[in-house]
Structure 1
């Protein structure tokens, strides 16, 4: 019997558990979340695909895909932006991709991703291996594009890796795999829905389904498409910020797994505006999710924009927030909504998770305060275990709320520290849209506990989806609001992570 199995059995045998009615239950199937995108929704000017190079041990037939590639074949320049982990132990692919973006000034045409090995905390060999992936990837980009101005010393390829930390890449296998995108006939790279699904599979580690979404949107009457792939189920509490490039906007605070994501669009967007839009979107999506409160060394979200929706002989004018703020805002908001959809897939696939919960904090003096409190609630082990037990233990929610100091608005002239007023705080459980009874359940109103039906609470909390709303009652009509998405903490999470390397 493995150690995690023994731990779970011991947890189940304790008197505290025995006295209650909590039963182990399997995570619901997530297969329905895997989708095949319609061809019409796929961005133009991209070839994608995946192969098995041998990182993942696999006896399955066909073997598990562990190496993916994205190439922009647009005749126009392809802008690139990225958001990287702020972990002190940033992995080699993070450091290398950051440098590539800096050298290229916000342009890149290729992304190569491997799963099964994170190439994190691997010293100088890890850096050499990551650069090797960039160089070999540049050859693939050169094979499929005519307009790339990359050189061997300055390739325009970004890299991402996910898997076990502290283990060197089997680089010879990866190099052979990258070269196979050229040598295999036909090439694994194409623009078909099946190739996109293969790409999504190549991202996966403990994920239970491939995470792929597409969408169309309009700006000034012109239709554009966007597609995104991400992965993540454990070690999820991203804290990502923009690349350290000179062209990026100033983000104010640094923004908040392995969480890996790659989003591509056929809209034309200037590099600086692309980075600005990604910063905004990531803060409200990937930086607003948590499975277990642990930030990875490899968290990365990459965004490419190639303008291929246009077919003019000359490059179309890019969307630029300095030139047309309305067009930029439409793009930014579409990207944010799309990124939220992708980010929520990660939470829904949380290791051992049986619940998907939106935590909304309202009436805060600043967005930063609302976000910090929502994050604290979402990462509290006591809150998350209560969610698993379908227990409306609002005291735990309140305790998490009260442990976070508030920040003052930047335009405030008062030197007085803003603080929570317990007499103004309210807590409400909101049912999912499928329940016949849509009435919210208030358990605390203006600091006063409310009598409520435990049966009604159970009815709401036994659903897979529901919302927890905390209203601080501050800020008046200008009170700020933030949303966070989290899941419960189950016995299965212990088993999965205890067995991770075995």
Structure 2
């Protein structure tokens, strides 16, 4: 088996991973839960990336401290409260890890805390004390969906993905869950993603793989232009697949990175497609860019344009807004020969060629843009690099959700 296959199972698809979710009373939705626990039967080499917002959730300081040795075995994550700008936030986060360690018989330093929800609301330790023992008892290899549900806030559905592939004749798996719907303008390097893999890979390479990967997946997502205080992505590799340890770049490392990319892009698209109040997933694909960074910036500039996002909501092929967003991207390229097409399951319509208007059927263009996924194809004709970015349309519902978020 040489190909990478998408499978069921989420973050617990890989060998040795278990998960659970429960309601602790932190959030307001008892039906979905608000506290998730992820656990590997053995400690794993781990890596993480975090928000670049200067105001950071308290859990990030604890996670960074606990990951100094590059090892983790469990993740505890609550929804309903961001644990950001709280007077005792770090103490709460640290205490959570101690409670998990006690319940599972592992080291507190191998437990990573995370949180999502409203910023600036006091958080108490009692819900964690009361619920973590229950979570430890409920841990299951089938618990991915339950954990994914518990970390949701305004998300309308759970987000999970898993893939399987072979290394050295050993079946390997990477699986993950994510949450994110609003306050999404990822810049790492509120959105959370936790990935578990049974691949045996060195600490240095698992961090390199994640740090490189986010540039073309998570960092290319924007719903509303707001970079959360809580953004965190964690990968734990427990090595239980039994492959020869990946210790240097090569064919095995590339296969691992390719598999990680599939999981990360799938979760990124699900986050973008579930933007608060959205009706459509918006994708921008830039080709012909002079450099990779420029391709990324142009793609993200288009999906971040509020004017174009509003046009997508109205199924209006207002391509001038696309050219405008391309033009203010913070990178250098020749803007004199840009081609733009709008695509969906209905078909493709060219709306701009050589940075100028071309005749097109407006009625057909409206049908193309009425689909649930709309892709903007942009060819800069100024190089060989390409990149993708994902966002969503801007709807009346977005304002309604965020006007009443705290209530």
Per the normalisation by structure 2, the TM-score is 0.94
- How far 1:355 sits from its partner (Å)? 0.9
Contact 2:312/2:393, CA 8 A, preserved across alignment: yes
- How far 1:263 sits from its partner (Å)? 0.6
| Aligned match for 1:499, one of 390, 404, 407 | 404
Alpha-carbon separation, structure 2, partners of 1:269 and 1:202: 29
SS in 2 for 1:330: helix
Contact 1:109/1:141, CA 8 A, preserved across alignment: no
Contact 1:402/1:420, CA 8 A, preserved across alignment: no
Alpha-carbon separation, structure 2, partners of 1:97 and 1:457: 48
| Aligned match for 2:194, one of 259, 262, 276 | 262
Deviation sequence 1:399-440 (CA, Å, 0-9, x none): 11111232xxxxxxxxxxx44232x111111222xx3xx4x3
Structure 2: state its 5+ residue gaps: 1-5
Which residue of structure 1 lines up, in the alignment, with residue 94 of structure 2?
131
Deviation sequence 1:476-499 (CA, Å, 0-9, x none): xxx211100111000000101101
Contact 2:216/2:296, CA 8 A, preserved across alignment: no
Flag the structure with larger Rg: 1
Contact 1:428/1:469, CA 8 A, preserved across alignment: yes
Which residue of structure 2 lines up, in the alignment, with residue 70 of structure 1?
38
Structure 1 residue 83 corresponds to structure 2 residue 38: no
Which residue of structure 2 lines up, in the alignment, with residue 217 of structure 1?
165
Contact 2:160/2:267, CA 8 A, preserved across alignment: yes
Which residue of structure 2 lines up, in the alignment, with residue 334 of structure 1?
259
Which residue of structure 1 lines up, in the alignment, with residue 321 of structure 2?
396
Deviation sequence 1:219-272 (CA, Å, 0-9, x none): 23321122211111111111011xxxxxxxxxxxxxxxx111101011111111
Equivalent positions of 1:112-123 (< 5 A) are 112-123=76-87
Which residue of structure 2 lines up, in the alignment, with residue 55 of structure 1?
26
Equivalent positions of 1:297-446 (< 5 A) are 297-310=229-242, 317-322=244-249, 325-406=250-331, 418-422=332-336, 424-432=337-345, 435=346, 438=347, 440-446=348-354
Paired residue total: 402
- How far 1:36 sits from its partner (Å)? 10
Alpha-carbon separation, structure 2, partners of 1:126 and 1:196: 27
- How far 1:38 sits from its partner (Å)? 5.7
Structure 1 residue 207 corresponds to structure 2 residue 175: no
> Greater strand percent: which structure?
2
- Cα distance change on mapping 1:216 and 1:36 into 2, 3 Å: closer
Contact 1:280/1:336, CA 8 A, preserved across alignment: no
Which residue of structure 2 lines up, in the alignment, with residue 286 of structure 1?
218
RMSD: 1.9
SS in 2 for 1:350: coil
SS in 2 for 1:164: coil
Per the normalisation by structure 1, the TM-score is 0.77
